[in-house]
Chain A
């Protein structure tokens, strides 16, 4: 690995274009150019220097901004495709995805499903794209930040003439009262908060160098953020459960190892009321009908007591009462409960009366808890009802046998055996909503429907996300870096005495307009000419402007 020794004595790494110390142009081709390329200070970037081994090639591939931008654009386009039709998680659960997309969107929908776009954001190739962007971020940054740091650290005050005259802002002047001009310029530079270094009557004024690190800092933030995103796949970091709790019920909170319980006292749904709420809303309420105002579960959080004996009913210690609303989750330990959904008026209890079919004489009522029906209801005086079968969510299967679809009492049905003094062997009756079947012929008695009791059910998301801290740190570092890079500029002004002349050159990494304005106030009235913009574009525009004048 050969190093490049500059005439000024500084030893530069192989591949350096501009001497880190004096700025002298070290590469012949660069000398032919009117302006030097100041990106990364002409430092030796690994990717521009080595291209032999497979590692070099991979490094060079990912260190290219062009490749990085291409990856960004591909990710952008892919993300857009994922919004053409809803993702699988947002389609109704009534139909499987294989059917839904075709039935809703026809051939296009079928194709969308077959290509896997219905789960685009968790597809292997999308994750591969994000991972590639991550790799590109790391390699791009390392390839640039190390040599850039070296170059900025090693720069000396007196820069080579070839470097100065190839700066975009450059000018020379004959100055009469050199010392007083220098003092005035220095004073003005200080006023503009420049750091001034002097050497042999030459000046380097510099400010905002820290903004050069902005991009690399924001890339670090992004890497941390992406790493935080991957942490979710580590077991124990992330919990996403849905907990349904009926009013009056206490349920164990999933994923808490049976440590925490939640009691739902009441679920409240409020809508805006034209008479009570802000009058300004009246038009909107009239136009859109009902507008929800509040979804709320009044809950109590319990923790299992240490005194609980294994195998017995847990002893619960109250932790807190809470009004759980949307935007106001209940937090405990690393968990949070969110108001997610609800179901109003779910069937809870059903009442019947054992009745003589002929004269409608009743022989006692019974109320069945649809979640916990008894086997037998004794009505006294020899009247008794046995529950032979219970179907909470009843339907007939393909063989016309009664079955239940779920354990939720959406459509309860019973097979009762009614035992009476008249019929001590009992009569069998199948009772469902608005339906009675007497399988063994005409019965003397029936179970007359008396009424139902309903309850509201609340659905809460149980969330634990230990990655949030990492994401917050990543996001914060990103913001710091991006602000640092965007809202400050790295400006340098070189002043050098060359053969009785004063040479001035200026450089900024961005916002040339700002630098030019600042420079013109600094040199105004000092006897030193303000440097001129040598870049081609501005020459042209000055020309075209002057033509129009």
Chain B
């Protein structure tokens, strides 16, 4: 059951990959787009493949649920893949409302990155600690993830809007910032690439170290340690030895991974620029040419409208109900709770800004992008760096 589940997830990953290519084809395709505004043959195939991928991932989810005895949303790997699945689900629904192939072309890679990112973390089926043993785990986590995924569609719409509307041939504030966002995406690719390379080669180096509170521990690095742990003693001296030592308060292993991801990201980005001699956004721009800016803007707004109530229900209301049952208080200013509140406040601000004139179009698109960055911050940084009561989500 467990291996079947893993295979289904892998199949869905491949299908999303193929779907992306087909959606790209649907935009390049010149035939059948004279008068008829509907999606062409390629787009139809693309959405078909996407649905197949979604069903395959649903199969992964169900089989893993059966194997574990609880919904697979209890650690970072499971949550992030589920988030990716919800994103694809949200895309499918919105696609059938707006029939915009470009949305598929940009959503599927985001889902691919999410699943790829998730796969870099421990994939074992983990037993539930007592505080997680509740049906509210299923209700709260799935609704929160679904809400975030629908909100994330506004990020994709925002990206499409900005890539199309901004002039990338000139260096301007907006074009630079957009390129910075895309560079962040490239660094995520970098993280996946470099982690996979060293994971396949089975690289391991071990250190004995002492933290700020004089607690001693051993730590295993899976990437060559550019940064070593505080007062670290290298137990595998035949492997690469650290160039610098991190202070006791910092987790050297995570810092090291961040540095590797950034380095790989820079290399990938430079390679890209070397090959295309253009900014990433500029290379992507032709893929957005058939997207009507007004429609894209509306998709962004609509997805926030649809996602906001779902997010409120899942990430705040259900969260509070469960917190009251499990932790005896509905709200405790735990970092994860605070960041859910921040996300909620942000999208509340978005909805209010839409009321005032001038916050349509580019500005609104930027807000969609920033909102997703906040969601990602809550998923990645809060879990891995800030931790707190939700820290079990980090392993």
Given B133, B301, B334, B339, which contacts A326 in the complex, CB threshold below 8 Å?
B133
Q: At the interface, is chain B mostly helix, strand, loop or mixed?
A: helix
* A269-295 vs B, Cβ < 8 Å mask (1 yes, 0 no): 000100001101101110110011111
Count of residues in B whose CB is under 8 Å from the partner chain: 65
**B-chain residues with CB within 8 Å of residue A285 when the two chains form the complex:** 127
**A-chain residues with CB within 8 Å of residue B349 when the two chains form the complex:** 69, 72-73, 76
Given A329, A478, A541, which contacts B292 in the complex, CB threshold below 8 Å?
A541
Given A121, A465, A486, A548, which contacts B309 in the complex, CB threshold below 8 Å?
A486
- From A8-16, A373-381, A421-429, A505-513, the one touching the partner chain is A505-513
**B-chain residues with CB within 8 Å of residue A65 when the two chains form the complex:** 352, 355-356
**In the complex, number of A-B residue pairs with CB atoms less than 8 Å apart:** 153
A157 to B349, alpha carbons, bound, how many Å?
Answer: 35
A76 to B339, alpha carbons, bound, how many Å?
Answer: 9
Known: A69-B353, A83-B335, A327-B134. A487 touches B127 (CB 8 A): no
Known: A277-B127, A461-B328. A72 touches B345 (CB 8 A): yes
A285 to B126, alpha carbons, bound, how many Å?
Answer: 7
A380 to B312, alpha carbons, bound, how many Å?
Answer: 73
- Expressed in whole angstroms, the minimum distance between the Cβ of A149 and any Cβ of chain B is 18
B138 on interface, CB distance cutoff 8 Å: no
Q: At the interface, is chain A mostly helix, strand, loop or mixed?
A: helix
**B-chain residues with CB within 8 Å of residue A329 when the two chains form the complex:** 325, 328
A294 to B129, alpha carbons, bound, how many Å?
Answer: 7
**A-chain residues with CB within 8 Å of residue B339 when the two chains form the complex:** 80, 83
A340 on interface, CB distance cutoff 8 Å: yes
**A-chain residues with CB within 8 Å of residue B134 when the two chains form the complex:** 327
A347 to B308, alpha carbons, bound, how many Å?
Answer: 53
A69 to B309, alpha carbons, bound, how many Å?
Answer: 19
A284 pairs with B124, CB closer than 8 A: yes
**A-chain residues with CB within 8 Å of residue B124 when the two chains form the complex:** 281, 283-284, 287
A295 to B132, alpha carbons, bound, how many Å?
Answer: 12
A475 pairs with B338, CB closer than 8 A: no
B326 pairs with A327, CB closer than 8 A: yes
Given A272, A288, A510, which contacts B305 in the complex, CB threshold below 8 Å?
A510
Q: Which of A75-112 contact B (CB under 8 A)?
A: 75-76, 79-80, 82-83, 86-87, 89-90, 104-106
**B-chain residues with CB within 8 Å of residue A291 when the two chains form the complex:** 126-127, 129
Known: A79-B342, A479-B309, A482-B309. A90 touches B388 (CB 8 A): yes
Known: A287-B122, A325-B130. A482 touches B308 (CB 8 A): yes
A463 pairs with B127, CB closer than 8 A: no
B306 on interface, CB distance cutoff 8 Å: yes
- Expressed in whole angstroms, the minimum distance between the Cβ of B339 and any Cβ of chain A is 7
A313 to B47, alpha carbons, bound, how many Å?
Answer: 75
- Expressed in whole angstroms, the minimum distance between the Cβ of A106 and any Cβ of chain B is 8
Chain A residue with minimal CB distance to B164?
A544
**B-chain residues with CB within 8 Å of residue A545 when the two chains form the complex:** 292
**A-chain residues with CB within 8 Å of residue B48 when the two chains form the complex:** none
A75 to B342, alpha carbons, bound, how many Å?
Answer: 8
B348 pairs with A292, CB closer than 8 A: no
Known: A326-B133, A486-B308. A340 touches B328 (CB 8 A): yes
B274 on interface, CB distance cutoff 8 Å: no
B346 pairs with A479, CB closer than 8 A: no
B317 on interface, CB distance cutoff 8 Å: yes
B293 pairs with A541, CB closer than 8 A: yes
A468 pairs with B308, CB closer than 8 A: no
Q: Which of A44-81 contact B (CB under 8 A)?
A: 65-66, 68-69, 72-73, 75-76, 79-80
**B-chain residues with CB within 8 Å of residue A66 when the two chains form the complex:** 356
B127 pairs with A68, CB closer than 8 A: no
A327 pairs with B131, CB closer than 8 A: yes
Given A90, A293, A326, A511, which contacts B302 in the complex, CB threshold below 8 Å?
A511
- Expressed in whole angstroms, the minimum distance between the Cβ of A267 and any Cβ of chain B is 13
**B-chain residues with CB within 8 Å of residue A475 when the two chains form the complex:** 317, 320
B198 on interface, CB distance cutoff 8 Å: no
B244 on interface, CB distance cutoff 8 Å: no
**A-chain residues with CB within 8 Å of residue B295 when the two chains form the complex:** 513
**B-chain residues with CB within 8 Å of residue A106 when the two chains form the complex:** 249
A288 to B313, alpha carbons, bound, how many Å?
Answer: 33
**B-chain residues with CB within 8 Å of residue A83 when the two chains form the complex:** 335, 338-339, 382, 386
A289 to B212, alpha carbons, bound, how many Å?
Answer: 24
B353 pairs with A284, CB closer than 8 A: no
User: Of residues B98, B129, B382, which shows the largest number of chain A Cβ atoms within 10 Å of its Cβ?
Assistant: B129
A281 to B2, alpha carbons, bound, how many Å?
Answer: 11
Q: Which of A229-272 contact B (CB under 8 A)?
A: 240, 272
Q: Which of B293-319 contact A (CB under 8 A)?
A: 293-295, 297-298, 301-302, 305-306, 308-309, 312-313, 317
A326 to B327, alpha carbons, bound, how many Å?
Answer: 8
A153 on interface, CB distance cutoff 8 Å: no
A281 pairs with B305, CB closer than 8 A: no
Given A73, A471, A479, which contacts B330 in the complex, CB threshold below 8 Å?
A471
Chain A residue with minimal CB distance to B292?
A541
Count of residues in A whose CB is under 8 Å from the partner chain: 68
Q: Which of B171-221 contact A (CB under 8 A)?
A: 212
B294 pairs with A538, CB closer than 8 A: yes
- Expressed in whole angstroms, the minimum distance between the Cβ of A258 and any Cβ of chain B is 22
- Expressed in whole angstroms, the minimum distance between the Cβ of B128 and any Cβ of chain A is 8
**B-chain residues with CB within 8 Å of residue A358 when the two chains form the complex:** none
A338 pairs with B342, CB closer than 8 A: no
**A-chain residues with CB within 8 Å of residue B301 when the two chains form the complex:** 510
Chain B residue with minimal CB distance to A285?
B127
**B-chain residues with CB within 8 Å of residue A2 when the two chains form the complex:** none
Chain A residue with minimal CB distance to B386?
A83
- Expressed in whole angstroms, the minimum distance between the Cβ of A127 and any Cβ of chain B is 13
A250 to B297, alpha carbons, bound, how many Å?
Answer: 65
Chain B residue with minimal CB distance to A94?
B213
A114 on interface, CB distance cutoff 8 Å: no
A483 on interface, CB distance cutoff 8 Å: yes
**B-chain residues with CB within 8 Å of residue A471 when the two chains form the complex:** 320, 330
Known: A83-B335, A291-B127. A479 touches B305 (CB 8 A): no
B289 on interface, CB distance cutoff 8 Å: yes
Chain B residue with minimal CB distance to A222?
B348
A284 to B294, alpha carbons, bound, how many Å?
Answer: 49
B328 pairs with A327, CB closer than 8 A: no
Given B294, B308, B353, which contacts A537 in the complex, CB threshold below 8 Å?
B294
B293 pairs with A80, CB closer than 8 A: no
A39 on interface, CB distance cutoff 8 Å: yes
A336 on interface, CB distance cutoff 8 Å: yes
A280 pairs with B130, CB closer than 8 A: no
Known: A105-B249, A486-B305. A293 touches B312 (CB 8 A): no
- Expressed in whole angstroms, the minimum distance between the Cβ of A246 and any Cβ of chain B is 21
- Expressed in whole angstroms, the minimum distance between the Cβ of B215 and any Cβ of chain A is 12
**B-chain residues with CB within 8 Å of residue A283 when the two chains form the complex:** 124-125
A336 pairs with B328, CB closer than 8 A: yes
**A-chain residues with CB within 8 Å of residue B229 when the two chains form the complex:** none
A sample of 14 cross-chain residue pairs with beta-carbon separation below 8 angstroms, ordered by A number, consists of A68-B352, A69-B352, A72-B345, A76-B349, A79-B341, A80-B342, A83-B386, A280-B67, A281-B125, A285-B127, A325-B130, A326-B133, A482-B309, A486-B305
* Smallest CB-CB A-B distances: 6 pairs: A326-B130, A284-B124, A338-B328, A284-B126, A283-B124, A83-B335
Known A69-B352, A479-B312; 11 more pairs at CB < 8 Å: A69-B353, A72-B348, A79-B338, A80-B342, A82-B338, A106-B249, A281-B124, A326-B326, A461-B328, A511-B305, A537-B360
- Write the residues of chain B forming the contact surface with A, with a CB cutoff of 8 angstroms: 1-2, 67-69, 98, 122, 124-127, 129-131, 133-134, 212, 249, 289-290, 292-295, 297-298, 301-302, 305-306, 308-309, 312-313, 317, 320, 324-330, 332-335, 338-339, 341-342, 345-346, 348-349, 352-353, 355-356, 360-361, 382, 386, 388, 395
